[in-house]
Amino acid sequence: MAKGDYGKRNFFIRYFLVIKCLRNRKKATFNEIREFIAAETAILDKEFIYEIRTFQRDLNDIRCLFGIDIKINRLTHEYTIVESETDHFNTRILESFDIFNLLSSSQDFSQYISLERKCKQGTEYLHGLLYAINNRFKVSVLYKKYYEQNAEKCELLPLALKEFKARWYLIAARGSYTTIRTYALDRIQKLIIQPEKYIRPQSFDVNVFFKDCFGIIRPEDDDPYEIILSFDPFQGNYLKSYPLHTSQEILIDNNKEFRIKLFVFITYDLMMELLSFGNTVRIHSPLKLKKEIRKMTM
DNA sequence: CGCCGATCGCCCGCTTTCTA
DNA sequence: TAGAAAGCGGGCGATCGGCG
């Protein structure tokens, strides 16, 4: 086979298949990876010869590009992906690969896959905003609050991006840093990156800022509360795999009750979440949360 | 049509790890 | 502990695609 027969985009297919192979099998020798890739690319009607030297170069590239570390076990000669539990980025990248692979398949699977019909999410602004945040450029956005008729032009100092419930938000300040607000990307109608720079407050860390928040609201004039909630054991299983918040601690877990403790602000987001559990949740404390929920349901 | 950069295979040599 | 085996990176050349 002549070199380069399969074009320039091939390296991307290789990276993806290497990652896919190692995810499926957990571990594989180079020959197994080579065979896996040969089998996966057989439909391309071109022999895909994968040289060990290329593979070794690819490992380096995968590490640099995606931060996915692949190590070899020198006893068994098997390669594995080094999964670091703290790194959410890796998991998300691998998940995105799965979806990408599914949606970009040349076959028409539309009769087998039911996709959620999403409105435009504003994800096209992610790259531009990240660029502005990283290089400390001011931005001006045309922003339409969902409860207002007209869009409003605002000049913002972009600080961070945040994801919540499959939506993306811009965390930004206005002129001074006295108020930091959250802007939903799907409500941005236009984004202009300004040539002017701003000085980023050194103390701002998005993960610290939202540490005690459930969702995207951080009250300015309140403190987080210790919140005790009871669920039925069935909901408990769900909450064990998908904790409500990083502060979640299990207090009781038996066949009658699943009780947890959270340390978060009492916000609209939190109350909506609790209401979505219907009568399977019971609020033990604090009193403030009980009252607020009662107010909403009356 | 020639130049240039990117990719990849091949080869070499250094380093690390295993094993007797 | 020393030699063997394997990993890994660098150099080199062939090839290809883009570009003027």
The whole-angstrom separation of Cα A260 and Cα A127 is 38
Q: What is the pTM of this model?
A: 0.69
Q: Is residue A258 part of a domain?
A: yes
Is A89 found in the same domain as A131? Answer: no
Is A272 found in the same domain as A185? Answer: no
Is A196 found in the same domain as A256? Answer: no
At residue A35, the pLDDT reads 73
Is A172 found in the same domain as A230? Answer: no
Q: Is residue A115 part of a domain?
A: no
Number of domains in chain A: 3
Is A15 found in the same domain as A94? Answer: yes
Highest mean pLDDT (candidates A38-42, A97-101, A115-119, A273-277): A273-277
Q: Is residue A210 part of a domain?
A: no
Is A146 found in the same domain as A186? Answer: yes
Is A60 found in the same domain as A26? Answer: yes
Q: How many CB atoms lie within 10 A of CB A33?
A: 22
Q: How far is the CA of A1 from the C1' of B13 (A)?
A: 29
Q: Is residue A183 part of a domain?
A: yes
Is A238 found in the same domain as A199? Answer: no
Query: Residues A181-191: pLDDT tens digits?
Result: 899 998 998 88
Residue A38 Cβ < 7 Å to strand B: no
Percent of chain A exceeding pLDDT 70 equals: 76
Tell me the nt nearest to A8, Cα to C1': B7
The whole-angstrom separation of Cα A236 and Cα A252 is 10
Is A191 found in the same domain as A237? Answer: no
Q: How far is the CA of A75 from the C1' of B18 (A)?
A: 8
Q: Is residue A212 part of a domain?
A: no
Q: Is residue A214 part of a domain?
A: no
Give the list of residues 6+ apart from residue A50 with CB closer than 8 angstroms, or none.
A14, A33, A34, A37, A38
Domain that holds residue A134: 123-204
pLDDT above 50 (res A5): no
Between these two residues, A105 and A256, which has the higher pLDDT value? A256
Is A15 found in the same domain as A93? Answer: yes
**Strand B positions with any atom < 7 Å from protein CB?**
6-11, 17-19
Q: Where residue A263 sits, what CATH number does that domain have?
A: 3.30.70
pLDDT above 50 (res A1): no
Q: Is residue A118 part of a domain?
A: no
Q: Where residue A166 sits, what CATH number does that domain have?
A: 2.30.30
Query: Residues A235-278: pLDDT tens digits?
Result: 888 888 888 998 999 998 888 899 999 999 999 999 999 999 88
